[in-house]
Amino acid sequence: MKTALCKIVVPALAAAFIATIGASSAAQAARIDFAFVALGNGISAAPTPLQDATSLNLGDASIVVSGTLAGDASGLSPGDALSISPTDINFAAVSAADPLTKSWTGTNGSFTETLTTVSSVDRTSPNAVTWDLTGTVTGGAFHNVPVSMIIDATQSGGPGAVISVSGTNSSAAIPEPSTWVMMALGFAGLGFLGYRKTRSDNALA
């Protein structure tokens, strides 16, 4: 009777541990997740019209954070400045040998994104183009974590009008340090339950 009870209780407790660890990891996962906008005149693109552009020159525009989403661990707040290099972006040339970099310093330290691939380009809307770039981000708790940056350029008045640039930035999620501690405690608990079960089985044999 006791052996049968152990066979039921131990797996149930193990499942509870695993469910707790999974829920905790999801709740405490950290990511880079913010939006930005280019402020200032002098932004240009070539060739024209904008939907055909393969390059974007940010000129003297300031790149600032326009908002952050829940779970963002960039250390940034709305209004904080970002640095993009080069400012004259030739998307056809972006590669591992010639990456586009974005950097910032926030409350979580200094971060650098290295964007090496233009994964997609959307030219379906007139006087607008969207580039999706991928690469990695390093800084804070992040080390070469996959990241994506989307740049939207629009020119509502058509060729000759002001070009507006905005974008979003998001990375893969990583567990926060407290989650690693809970996972270690969870696995220790599973090991203890297994040990107790083995001792109980031996005592009843």
Look at residue 17 in the predicted model and tell me its pLDDT. Answer: 45
Asked if 100 and 160 sit in the same domain, the reply is yes
If one counts the domains in the chain, the total is 2
Task: Encode pLDDT of 94-122 as tens digits.
Answer: 999 999 999 999 999 999 999 999 999 99
Residue 124 has pLDDT above 70, yes or no: yes
Model confidence at 199, pLDDT cuts 50, 70, 90, reads low
Asked if 91 and 185 sit in the same domain, the reply is no
Asked if 89 and 187 sit in the same domain, the reply is no
Mean pLDDT over each residue of the chain, to the nearest integer: 83
Record the pTM.
0.76
The CB-based long-range contact list for 1-9 (8 Å cut-off, 24+ gap) reads 2/200, 2/204, 3/200, 3/201, 3/204, 6/197, 6/200, 6/201
Asked if 114 and 140 sit in the same domain, the reply is yes
Asked if 192 and 113 sit in the same domain, the reply is no
Q: Residues with Cβ < 8 Å from 153, sequence gap 6 or more?
A: 43, 45, 50, 53, 56, 128, 129, 130, 163, 164, 165
Asked if 53 and 129 sit in the same domain, the reply is yes
More confident residue, 111 or 19: 111
The whole domain housing 150 covers 32-172
Asked if 144 and 198 sit in the same domain, the reply is no
Cβ atoms within 10 A of the Cβ of 171, count? 23
Residue 70 has pLDDT above 90, yes or no: yes
